[in-house]
Structure 1
Amino acid sequence: MRFGCHLSIKDGYYGAAKKAMEMKATAFQYFPKNPRSLNVKDFDKEDASRCKAFCMENGILSVSHSPYPTSITPHDKTIRSHVVQSLLNDLEIAEACGSIGVVVHFGKHLPDTTLLESYQLMIEVLNEVLDQWEGEVQILLENSAGLPGGIGTTLEELVQIRKLCHAPEQIGFCLDTCHAFSCGLWDGNNWGEIVEKATALGYFDELKVVHLNNSKYPTREGKDRHAPIFGAGHINVAAFAELLQTPALKHIPFILETPREEIPHEREIALLQERWG
């Protein structure tokens, strides 16, 4: 199985790849640019190329995560233009680094709009990006945290948004375990039901990465606070074992976004590989 974590690009994309190998990780995630900005980055293509070659040579998978301000439900035309150009830039960087995709958070229900209008806006923004994108790297839609019934918390929503876009083949999925627990999609005891539903919907066919996170709060409280896999989180080891041993996830990279100050990622990756690797 592939385990890794989110890494800084302060030493470049190639530097992040080398750091992953030093940690004995077989996958890693990175922000392609400033995580708090939508500004387009004139990136170092040679550094990205070295990252791609190094990962191919050493059997490491990388995945990009779009900056925090990225929203596929932008509330005005100016922000929409920034989001579209930023996402195209993220896709270009990810392609140059040889990454499998760019993780993008599911959109939000905008005030003063119907739920249907917010869904329609997501589809329009995704179409605007992907109609201009000619590379192989995919947008990977991530499930939302939140209270039960919140937008983006069901597999049906994710699958339907993908299906209704112009180029569904350019869209995959990222499953965040803390988000799924937060909204009650996965309560720690119903993984078998999720597997059955995900298989029937074709969700697993398009799942490309899992964000492997425990939760500091109980299920259905709608709080997105990550905790270490082995520690005081509310998702127990038996529940993670059931998830990690799912045949459909055998070749999916599992990326930690857990608090490093509680357990260093090197140690957590070693524990994961010892138990399930």
Structure 2
Amino acid sequence: MKKFGCHVSIRGGYLAAAKHALAIGADAFQFFPKNPRSLSVKEFDRDDAEQCKHFCKENGLFTIAHTPYPTSITPHDDKKDVTISSLLNDLLIADTCGSAGVVVHFGNKISETDPLASYHLMLEMLNRVLSQWNGACKILLENNAGKQAALGTTLEELVQIRNLSDHPEKIGFCLDTCHAFASGLWNGNDTEILVEKANELGYREHLVAIHLNNSMHPYGSRKDRHANIYKGGYIKSNDLEDLMDAFKDVPFVLETPHEFGISHEEEIAQLRGLN
């Protein structure tokens, strides 16, 4: 049976987030471990986080966390230390909640003259963070839509960063379907080719979660705007379903919009009907 879920709020705490996910029919969920607009280090309620972990284990809930919006693994020099502290904080919170990983966006282009500068900085940041981290929770590198200098749009890049890091065993991947479509990585009807490449490169074996999102913009647009699975998107529903079948053992987490009158509960119910 495939696992389906969505991003949920921690407004009422971590345990409350897990209970909400279960109540809407999810068996997977994603959350921000702290304020999504801040890189501050959060003094969190460990008891609440531990209760979340036990609740998820008892109810078969898979969870991942997502770093706050300002997080970048290609930061300016004056942001390196605060970013590292924030990432370690995210990992600790997520690990205490029993999450499999913390999703981090691939980095951005930082130099017009040195094409490798961004990759070197990403490796520096990952090495500094993971040399201090010994928990079970992994950093999950997410593919980009390509809107900022087109870094992180290929499986080769993601795999190579993992391979070259000092701690590859602490790094996994999260595939975003909207980003893959927008960047040109996957056109919807070439899932077989995507899977073959993922297997050949060693990406597939370290794929921990999939962000299941449709795209409000056409293939190759490099625009990161999510659409609902069955309404308002450019990715055909049967193409998304083919991808789900190809990666059926990987949990699927919705990051789809609410403003069009479609709730995550409704979408999960629709997806559940595919099992």
- Identify whether the pair has TM-score above 0.5, normalized to the shorter chain: yes
Which residue does the alignment assign to 2:251?
Answer: 253
Distance 1:159 1:190 in 2: 20
Which residue does the alignment assign to 2:126?
Answer: 126
Distance 1:251 1:57 in 2: 20
Deviation at 1:117, TM superposition (A): 1.1
Query: Contact 2:108–2:148 at 8 Å: present in 1 too?
Result: no
Which residue does the alignment assign to 2:13?
Answer: 12
Map 1:24-173; keep pairs closer than 5 Å: 24-76=25-77, 78-146=78-146, 150-173=150-173
SS of the residue 1:209 aligns to: strand
Deviation at 1:114, TM superposition (A): 1.5
Distance 1:172 1:135 in 2: 14
Deviation at 1:113, TM superposition (A): 5.0
Q: Tell me which amino acid in the other structure corresponds to 1:33.
A: K
Question: Deviation digits for residues 175-232 of structure 1, max 9, x if unmatched?
Answer: 0000000011011121111111000001010000000000011001111110000012
Query: Contact 2:67–2:90 at 8 Å: present in 1 too?
Result: yes
Distance 2:117 2:184 in 1: 25
Which residue does the alignment assign to 2:206?
Answer: 206
Distance 2:111 2:120 in 1: 14
Distance 1:105 1:209 in 2: 14
CA RMSD of aligned residues (A): 1.2
Query: Contact 1:148–1:220 at 8 Å: present in 2 too?
Result: no
SS of the residue 2:211 aligns to: strand
Distance 1:131 1:112 in 2: 30
Change (3 A) 1:46 1:146: same
SS of the residue 2:174 aligns to: strand
Distance 2:245 2:72 in 1: 33
Query: Contact 1:147–1:220 at 8 Å: present in 2 too?
Result: no
Q: Tell me which amino acid in the other structure corresponds to 2:135.
A: G
Distance 1:144 1:187 in 2: 15
Moved beyond 2 Å, runs of 4+: none
Question: Deviation digits for residues 50-108 of structure 1, max 9, x if unmatched?
Answer: 000000000001100000111000111x2000110000000000110000000000000
Q: Tell me which amino acid in the other structure corresponds to 1:272.
A: L
Distance 2:209 2:53 in 1: 18
Change (3 A) 1:195 1:19: same
Q: Tell me which amino acid in the other structure corresponds to 2:252.
A: F
Deviation at 1:252, TM superposition (A): 1.1
Q: Are 1:273 and 2:275 matched, yes or no?
A: no
Query: Contact 2:108–2:149 at 8 Å: present in 1 too?
Result: no
SS of the residue 2:116 aligns to: helix
Question: Deviation digits for residues 149-187 of structure 1, max 9, x if unmatched?
Answer: 811000000000000000100000000000000011011
Change (3 A) 1:229 1:35: same
Distance 2:112 2:237 in 1: 42
TM-score (norm 1): 0.96
Aligned-residue sequence identity (percent) comes to 57
TM-score (norm 2): 0.97
Distance 1:233 1:103 in 2: 24
Distance 2:16 2:229 in 1: 26
Distance 1:172 1:51 in 2: 23
Deviation at 1:111, TM superposition (A): 3.7
Query: Contact 1:149–1:183 at 8 Å: present in 2 too?
Result: no
Distance 1:144 1:254 in 2: 17
Query: Contact 2:147–2:224 at 8 Å: present in 1 too?
Result: no
SS of the residue 1:245 aligns to: helix
